[in-house]
């Protein structure tokens, strides 16, 4: 008698196409949000999985979105491929009604997809705790070539881009700034 043991392994999930943002939400301020949302070409809507079990669909022309978490903690926000760029709503403390206090909550951001690919100007400015960012295809600035998307991100150590866009990115004023993209401690890789 021959006995065989079969082990069933679940099929791997396909890679998520969109943008993933990891945030640390404090107990005393459980809200996070986005502004300056630009829709992807031909998109009619997009979804956000806020990482706490809440998934919402928004019209493509939505521009200012906030979400209140049930409690503080570490969350992974997933934004679908229906937008081409998005900016966390905490780039400055000068106007709390518009900018909020969300910037310190951001820990990492990664975009995976052809459409969701743009870093808007000053998109993650003042994100003092962000350590990692990755974008496959990128327009490093969005109509404001004199600004830098990661200004004052002193904790940012890794910034990854697709190798095929190296020449295009190195030609931007944001890359030529000192330091590039305003991130003084980041090493820039062209390895995606």
What DSSP string describes the chain? ---------PPPPPPP-EEEEEEEE-TT--EEEEEEEEEPTT--EEEEE-SSS-EEEEETT---EEEE-SS-EEEEEEEETTEEEEEES-S-SS-HHHHTT-GGGEEEEEEESSSS-B--TTTTTT-TT--EEEESS--SSSS-TTS-TTTT-TT--EEEE-GGGHHHHHTSHHHHSSSGGG-TTPEEEE--
pLDDT band at 92 (very low <50, low <70, confident <90, very high): very low
What's the pLDDT tens digit per position in 95-133? Answer: 444 444 678 888 998 887 655 556 766 778 788 899 999
Q: Residues 20-38: what's their mean pLDDT?
A: 85
What's the pLDDT tens digit per position in 66-91? Answer: 899 999 999 999 988 777 777 776 54
pTM, 2 dp: 0.81
Q: Residues 129-145: what's their mean pLDDT?
A: 70
């Amino acid at each position: 008698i021959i006995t065989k043991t079969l082990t069933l392994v679940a099929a791997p999930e396909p890679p998520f196409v969109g943008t993933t943002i990891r945030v640390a939400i404090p107990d005393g301020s459980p809200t996070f949000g986005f502004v300056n949302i630009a829709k992807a070409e031909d998109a009619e809507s997009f979804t956000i999985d806020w990482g706490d079990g809440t998934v919402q669909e928004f019209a493509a022309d939505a521009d200012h979105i906030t979400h209140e978490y049930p409690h503080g903690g570490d969350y992974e926000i997933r934004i679908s491929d229906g937008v081409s760029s998005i900016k966390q709503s905490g780039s400055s403390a000068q106007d709390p009604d518009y900018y909020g206090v969300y910037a310190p909550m951001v820990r990492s951001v990664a975009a995976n997809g052809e459409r969701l690919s743009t870093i808007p100007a000053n998109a993650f400015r003042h994100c003092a705790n962000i350590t990692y960012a990755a974008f496959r295809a990128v327009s490093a600035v969005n109509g404001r070539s004199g600004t830098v998307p990661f200004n004052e991100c002193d904790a940012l150590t890794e910034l990854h881009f697709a190798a095929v866009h190296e020449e295009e990115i190195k030609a931007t004023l944001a890359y030529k700034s000192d330091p590039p993209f305003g991130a003084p401690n980041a090493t820039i890789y062209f390895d995606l």
